[in-house]
């Protein structure tokens, strides 16, 4: 089932991207930098920035979605173009995918990428003093894990993960896939996000229930985005309530039904030139700039 879901998601993405041809002559792009030198495409990252940019541009680390089962960093290419044009250096990462791995190893991949960014910031001209994180859908879930682990020594010990030491001033979660137990196309996830090797491990409760991360971790300020036509709107609204109860600073952009386009799941990532997508970018940019 995971491979069928991957095929469906990646086929749809390929069809969409074949119709999006954008000029990149104004951008500088470093592609396929290995953050783990094992020769696999899942352990590569890209760096986008405006041409002739200053070295002190704020940095956005971007984690793509795909239901934990599909896609690479390239699925967010046009999304990252736009953030670079807005004056950010964007670091876009890939990670291993289910069913070739399990959720704990995806979390390890993301945290390894963050350590690489921290350790090689000088080489690639990355401003460690102004870092932000953006994830969409499953990427937003992985962003939540990374942020919680970075912020909590207890969770670092629980997960057995060394933090990067990056201090994220704020983060944005677009259409977060907050729950790992799902219905529909991804209903199989509950059976494959973990395996026998996770049995009895202290991190397993957080794998099975990501919402539990919110209580023990002092998360940075968060910007949440969803829409009425988002199939995972309920996840974002649940996240909003949990953050409110935990006293975590956050803001929510919740679009009504679209007037000109269907504002479906992660529309602002998929179609960056839509007016509502531009509204999303401006909203997140202002939130980041205020932190």
Kindly tell me if the per-residue pLDDT of 30 is higher than 90: yes
What is the phi-psi region of residue 225: left when phi exceeds 0, alpha when psi lies from -120 to 50, beta otherwise?
beta
Q: Are 144 and 107 in contact (CB under 8 A)?
A: no
Query: In the structure encoding, which two tokens stand for residue 226, read together?
Result: 């969803």
The sign of the CA dihedral 131, 136, 139, 144 is positive
Query: In the structure encoding, which two tokens stand for residue 287, read together?
Result: 């939130």
pLDDT digits 0-9 by tens, 33-68:
999 999 999 999 999 999 987 778 999 999 999 989
Tokens 């890939």 -> residue: 94
H-type alpha helices, 135-258: 138-151, 153-159, 189-192, 204-208, 233-246
- CA 192 and chain centroid, separation: 20
Q: In which order are the strands placed within the sheet that holds 250-255?
A: 27-34, 44-50, 89-93, 59-63, 131-136, 168-174, 222-227, 250-255
Q: Which of 15, 66, 83 is nearest to 265 (CA)?
A: 66
Tell me the C-alpha distance between 201 and 99, whole Å. Answer: 20
Kindly tell me if the per-residue pLDDT of 14 is higher than 70: no
Count: domains in the chain: 1
Interhelix angle 103-119/138-151, nearest 10 degrees? 60
pLDDT digits 0-9 by tens, 145-192:
999 999 999 999 999 999 999 999 999 999 999 998 877 766 777 788
Residues with Cβ within 8 Å of residue 207, at least 6 apart in sequence? 103, 104, 180, 193, 194, 198
pLDDT digits 0-9 by tens, 197-236:
999 999 999 999 999 999 878 999 999 999 999 999 999 9
Kindly tell me if the per-residue pLDDT of 22 is higher than 60: yes
Domain region containing 150 = 2-289
Tell me the C-alpha distance between 145 and 139, whole Å. Answer: 10
What is the pLDDT of the chain when averaged over all its residues?
Answer: 92
Q: Are strands 131-136 and 168-174 parallel, antiparallel or unpaired?
A: parallel
ω into 249 cis (within 30 of 0): no
Residue 175 half-sphere exposure, CB side, CA atoms within 13 Å?
Answer: 23
Residue 65 belongs to domain with CATH number: 3.40.50.1820
Tell me the C-alpha distance between 190 and 181, whole Å. Answer: 5
Kindly tell me if the per-residue pLDDT of 5 is higher than 70: no
What single-letter DSSP state applies at residue 48?
Answer: E
Record the pTM: 0.94
Residues with Cβ within 8 Å of residue 235, at least 6 apart in sequence? 175, 176, 177, 178, 179, 226
């Amino acid at each position: 089932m995971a491979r069928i879901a991957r095929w469906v998601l990646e086929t749809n993405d390929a069809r969409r991207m074949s119709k999006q041809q954008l000029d990149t002559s104004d951008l500088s792009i470093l592609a396929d930098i290995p953050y783990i030198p094992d020769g696999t495409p899942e352990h590569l990252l890209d760096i986008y920035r405006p041409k002739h940019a200053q070295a002190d541009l704020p940095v956005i680390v971007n984690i793509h979605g795909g239901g934990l089962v599909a896609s690479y960093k390239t699925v967010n290419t046009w999304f990252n173009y736009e953030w670079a044009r807005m004056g950010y250096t964007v670091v876009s990462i890939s990670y291993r995918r289910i069913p070739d791995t399990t959720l704990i190893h995806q979390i390890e991949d993301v945290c390894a990428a963050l350590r690489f960014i921290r350790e090689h910031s000088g080489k690639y001209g990355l401003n460690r003093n102004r870092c932000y994180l953006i994830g969409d859908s499953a990427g937003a879930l992985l962003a939540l894990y990374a942020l919680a682990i970075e912020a909590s020594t207890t969770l670092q010990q629980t997960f057995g993960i060394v933090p990067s030491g990056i201090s994220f001033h704020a983060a944005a979660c677009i259409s977060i896939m907050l729950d790992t137990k799902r219905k529909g196309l991804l209903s199989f996830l509950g059976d494959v996000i973990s395996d026998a090797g996770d049995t009895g491990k202290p991190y397993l409760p957080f794998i099975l229930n990501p919402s539990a991360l919110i209580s023990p971790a002092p998360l940075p300020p968060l910007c949440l985005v969803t829409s009425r036509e988002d199939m995972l709107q309920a996840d974002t609204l649940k996240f909003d309530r949990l953050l409110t109860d935990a006293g975590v600073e956050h803001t929510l952009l919740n679009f009504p039904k679209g007037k000109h386009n269907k504002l479906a799941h992660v529309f602002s990532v998929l179609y960056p030139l839509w007016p509502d997508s531009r509204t999303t970018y401006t909203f997140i940019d202002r939130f980041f700039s205020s932190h």
